[in-house]
Amino acid sequence: MQEISEKQDLVTVSAPTTVIFNGSELKYPPALPKYAAARSVFLPVIAETYQNMESQFDSEIGSIEGFVDNGRDFFISAIRPLLSFAVKEFATYNCYQFDEDSFFEEFVCARFDRIADIHEKISFKLQEMRERQEEINARRKEERRQAVAEGKSEIGMMLWNGMKRLGDGVVNSINGSSIYNEQVEKELKNEFWKICMGILDDFTAALFATDTVDIRNPITQESKRKVHNIFERLKRGGLPEQEMLRLTKDALQLNPLYKGLLEWCVTQYGDPEGELQHLADLFCINISKTKEEILRKNFCLDSETKALATQKYITEMTKQLSYSNPKLEEQVQTALKKFDRQARTFGKIEYPTRAEAKKAKKEKEKVDEICKKYSGAHSQQEYDAFLTELQTEDFHYGFDKEIIEDIKKKQAVWNQQETQLAEYCNISPESMRPASPMVRRKRDFFEWEFTKKMNAVGL
């Protein structure tokens, strides 16, 4: 079912009857835009009426007995909301000659003929089956009576059971397996849909009959049939471009209201000049949903690459369709900003540019490389070399700062240990450098003692 636009003032519709499509003029009878406006008002109520009927179908007439007993009342009751709406719309045209019952009797009632025929045939079949059931039951009763009278009670009971099973088979067929099936239900629903759609034509016929206004549909049944055939051919594809364009123009000229035709044109040709939008506005058809679906095609924000591709596609389609969705564009921008922020972030720090973030990452890798190089350092000389290499490199982002501070703390501890050791041995640090073997052995002993003490206090 085509989407429709908001309700318009049916009396004051005065749209141009000539439009341009792909360089060609399409001319329409003046009554067609007015009929289309009335159609746009009725379609939502028609859809709601049908949906309400369908939701109650199984519970009300889902069985053959339910259909035979309640079918007529069910469908007439289901159409009532649409009749009520039509009566209200008559007032829009200053027509007050109809109420629900008079409008139904004069214009709508005849549309129920097909449903009435189905009801009559199924009622007749059901009656035949019920009569057949009664005959079987009567014969079964008589045979059982005879069996009991002859003293053949056991045989009589077997006969009874066999006849009961036969009777059950007939009952099962009555419950809907043979004459009231899914195909019949589908036909009933299709007929009700035709009735709902036909009420629009009944409405315009009633206005014309009362000399109120002539907004009857000028599209003939022959035109409708031709457009149906053309559209089916177009959908199959495989036509040369010029032939396809010619057939499309023919279809739009004959019946622009044909279901799905304008939507197909949008999908096939786009709408860069807004010509199809003009045509849709003229006939109160909403093609925005189709344009939105095209705009959302392949919409993906899972990665920056896909988000950029989506942004490019939306930009191109916005021009191609003469249609935009600011919310969709905002989603893409938000995603791209998120990816950019992630790319500019390293080590929980957001840098001004991606280049800065890359430099920071490179510097961190260099610092890690130097740290790995001196990971086995134990002596003061090794840590001195470690510190010298860190300070020699031209680092700017501070990844080396904490490491340098740690090294300097270790050096301070070593210097303190050396001073304490010298004082303990009563030897000045300067005199310790060129020590004799005896002094070195003595110093080594006291260093060992000192290290033990330092370890004992956790330094």
Of 280, 330, 388, 387, the C-alpha closest to 2 is 280
pLDDT tens, position by position, 76-119: 999 999 999 999 999 999 999 999 999 999 999 999 999 999 99
Residues facing residue 20 across a β-bridge: 25
Inter-residue contact 260 to 289 (CB < 8 Å): no
How far apart are the C-alpha atoms of 115 and 103, rounded to whole Å? 19
How many C-beta atoms lie closer than 10 Å to residue 12's C-beta?
8
Instruction: Say which DSSP state 62 is in.
Output: S
User: What six digits make up the tokens of 1?
Assistant: 């079912």
Task: Report the alpha-carbon distance of residue 428 to residue 426 in Å, rounded.
Answer: 7
Look up residue 100 and give its two tokens: 């629900």
Structure tokens at 447: 């260093």
pLDDT score recorded for residue 47: 95
Residue 129's identity, in one-letter code, is M
The C-alpha angle 243, 244, 246, rounded to 5 degrees, equals 65
Copy the structure tokens of residue 10.
């049916």
Reading the block at residue 271, the tokens are 């709408």
- Alpha-carbon distances, residue 401 vs 16, 395, 398, 405, 406 (angstroms): 77, 9, 5, 6, 9
Mean pLDDT by 10 residues, the chain (459 residues): 42 61 91 93 96 94 89 94 96 93 94 93 86 80 72 54 50 56 92 95 94 93 95 94 95 95 96 94 94 94 95 95 95 95 90 90 87 79 80 79 81 75 63 55 58 50
Q: What is the DSSP letter of 396?
A: -
Report helix, strand or coil for 82. helix
Structure tokens at 183: 């195909």
Classify residue 188 as exposed, middle or buried by CB count within 10 Å of its CB (0-12, 13-18, 19+): buried
Burial of 36 (0-12, 13-18, 19+ CB in 10 A): buried
Torsion angle, alpha carbons of 417, 422, 425, 427, to 10: 170
Cβ neighbours, 10 Å, residue 82: 23
Reported as half-sphere exposure (CB side, CA atoms, 13 A), residue 361 has a value of 13
Contact between 287 and 266 (Cβ < 8 Å): yes
Residue the block writes with tokens 């908001």: 6
Q: Provide the total of helices (H) and of strands (E) in the chain, helices listed first.
A: 18, 4
pLDDT score at 381: 80
Q: How far apart are CA 75 and CA 393, in angstroms?
A: 90
Q: What is the DSSP letter of 353?
A: S
- Rounded to 10°, the helix 288-295/304-321 angle is 150
User: What amino acid occupies position 366?
Assistant: K
Whole-angstrom Cα distance, residue 67 to residue 65?
5
> How far is Cα 164 from Cα 141, in angstroms, rounded to an integer?
10
* Residue 4: DSSP 8-state: B
Tens of pLDDT, residues 109-153? 999 999 999 999 988 888 888 888 788 878 877 777 776 666 655
